[in-house]
Structure formats: C-alpha cells, structure tokens
Amino acid sequence: MSTETTTMSELGGAECKLTVERVGDFRVTIQEKVTSSAKIGALVTIHDIGLNRQCYMDFLNKEYNAQLFDKFIVYHIEVPGQHKDAEQFSADYQFLPLPKMADRMIAVLERYHLKDVIGLGVGAGAVLMIHLAMSAPEKFLGITVIDPADKSLGFKEWGEQKLAAWQLEKKGFTSSVEKFLMWHLFGTKASKGVSMDMLDQVVKDITTHQNPYNLSQYVKAFMERTDFMQEIGDKLKCSVLIITSNHSPYKDQAYIMHSKLDKKKSSILESDNTINAFFEDPDKCGEGMLLLMQGLGLVPTLRTRTASRGGSVHRTASMSEDDS
C-alpha cells in the first residue's frame, strides 16, 4: 500500500479531504468531509465502464445528495488502469474476470478495517459490487446497484462490445467505440431523451482522459461476465436496493434480479422518463439510498425530499416491491 496524494476540495459546499492510495492493483480515493461530527460508517463505490471516481464525486456534490454522506467516509475503488490519465498496462498484465477482481477488492476492505459497509455500484461497477458483497457478506449492511446486468443481453450487444473492445485495443477511440459507449450509458433512446450537452460531455471526458487499451480490458471483462442470478438468493445477505430507469437497456435485468432476492431485504426503484438514472435523476438515486440507510437505522434524523414537503417519510410511487 502506498499513499500518493492528500488534497483539499469542496463537497456540497463544505471542505473535503481527499487521500489517494494504492492497495494492490487498485487506486483508492478516500473522501471525507472536514466536520466535527462523528462518522457512522463507510460508503464504498465502484464505477462503470468508461468512468472513474469522478462520476461519484460529482454525484455526491449534488445539493440534495451531499447530505447523505455527512457522517460517512467514502472509499472510491477504481478498477485497475481506469483512473484519469492512467499509464497503459504492460504487455504481460493480466486483467482479471469480474468475480476474481471482486475477490481482490476484499483486500481494500481489510486494509481500512471496514465493516457495516454501504456499497454503491453502477453498470459494470454494480456487477463488481454484487460479487464483492457475496464474497464478503460479513462486511456489508446494504448495497445500492444501478442497472446491474448479470450476463450479455443478446448477440447484438455482444457483437457491439466485441467490436468496441477490439477497436479500443487496436485503434483507440473510434466512432464505433463512441457509439458503443453512448449505448452502454444511455441506450438507444439517447438522442431523444438525454441532454445532448451532458452526453457529449460524458463521452468527451472518457475519450480525453481514459487510456483506450486499458478500457478495452474492462469492456472485455464485462462482456465475459457470468450469470450470478442463481447465486444471489443464497449468497447476497445484505439489504439491496436496485435502481433502474424506465428506458434503460438493463431494466429487465434489474427486475429479474429483484425477483431472485428476499423481498423483506430488497426493493427496486424505477426512475421515470430517463435512460440512466445515475446521470439524469441523481436526486432520486440519493433519495433511494437514504431510504435504504434509514431502513438500516443509520440515518434516522435525515429527511427525504418527499418528507421535506410535509408528512412522514415513505417510499415513492415508483419504489415498488413485488410480493409475488
């Protein structure tokens, strides 16, 4: 383990300390508000294809979401080689399959003596978070997974991923690669529903700061992901919140996952009129996480947007639990 940098920044208008360390192959950013209040737990994040810690730092910096983490220390785990301006992997570097990579992430939890963890993962990061929570069930109180996908959705997606991985590895960021990234993050309805300025900025950030060869290895690992649906009913012990969007290409996978889980410990939240709730509806994602934390007794004094308008805290209409 080595410490790289410690800096100060802003989070939700408050001073925030960032410490970047290496734990094995993982780059871990510890993000903590500089306040006098005692911390009551740890929030661990794992990012999606094409993204890195910055997406979660932006998420936490939203005015509503900043309140969620006043009492939490945040640990952003970055997948090997995916951080901003990363050096290219050596020719002999072996990028692990997602389940094995999740097993390696246990070392991060152990390095910081983390327990009673709240996890947050999006896309490929959601898959890693699920495997991590199954491999180290004693470490987790609850996880929020946004658009989890257990295996390839079909031949078309497989073909697009394979082409994108090959072009990233051999040619870098081509138009086909950019098209794949837009599909993965924002689906086929992106041009109709998503702010094009936001979409263009996301793709620009990826193509400017990500190493294409390294990214190709993450895409391949995601493309070759295995089916975890048969395991989660027995191995996923913590509380689970699944978030998806009504136009997400991964919506069906989210509902299949929910059907496999104990309904007393799981719920699903669907964001209306969006494709990627994490980018398009971050407040609803934050509200869902707050409800998860409140259900675990971690933040009984914080209030949801619904409660702030008057009345008691309750699940929104689109937070549904299937009793069947």
Q: What is the pLDDT of residues 91-138, one digit of tens each?
A: 899 999 999 999 999 999 999 999 999 999 999 999 999 999 999 999
Q: Running DSSP on this structure, what letter comes out for residue 229?
A: H
Place of tokens 């971050």: 282
- 254 contact partners, CB below 8 Å, separation of at least 6: 147, 148, 242, 243, 244, 248, 268
pLDDT at residue 316, rounded to an integer = 35
- Residue 237 has a pLDDT of 95
- Cα–Cα distance, 257 to 131 (Å, whole number): 13
CB 229 within 8 A of CB 182: no
Instruction: Please choose, from the candidates 150, 108, 126, the residue with its C-alpha nearest in 3D space to the C-alpha of residue 22.
Output: 108
* CA gap 145, 131 in Å, rounded: 11
Query: What Cα–Cα distance (Å) separates residue 101 from each residue in 83, 193, 268?
Result: 16, 34, 26
List, in sequence order, the alpha helices (H) in the chain.
Answer: 53-60, 98-111, 124-135, 155-170, 175-186, 190-193, 196-209, 212-223, 229-235, 251-260, 277-280, 282-295, 305-308
∠ CA 36-37-38 to the nearest 5 degrees?
A: 120
Query: What is the pLDDT, as a whole number, of residue 304?
Result: 55
Amino acid at 303: R
Q: Which tokens go with 20?
A: 């970047």
Q: Are strands 239-245 and 266-271 parallel, antiparallel or unpaired?
A: parallel
Measured CA to CA, the distance from residue 143 to residue 238 in angstroms comes to 7
Please state, as a whole number, how many other Cβ atoms lie within 10 Å of the Cβ of residue 301.
Answer: 6
Q: Which pLDDT score, from 0 to 100, does residue 3 have?
A: 66
pLDDT at 300: 67
Q: Report the pLDDT value the prediction gives residue 323, as an integer from 0 to 100.
A: 40
Domain 2-152+226-320 has CATH 3.40.50.1820: yes
Task: Report strand pairing: 72-78 vs 26-33.
Answer: antiparallel
Ordered mean pLDDT values, 10 residues apiece, the chain (324 residues): 61 75 96 76 95 94 79 93 96 95 98 95 97 97 94 68 88 91 77 72 92 96 90 95 92 94 95 91 92 85 48 34 40
SS3 category, 241: strand
Note the pLDDT tens digit of each residue in 12-58: 556 788 999 999 999 999 998 877 577 778 999 999 999 999 999 99
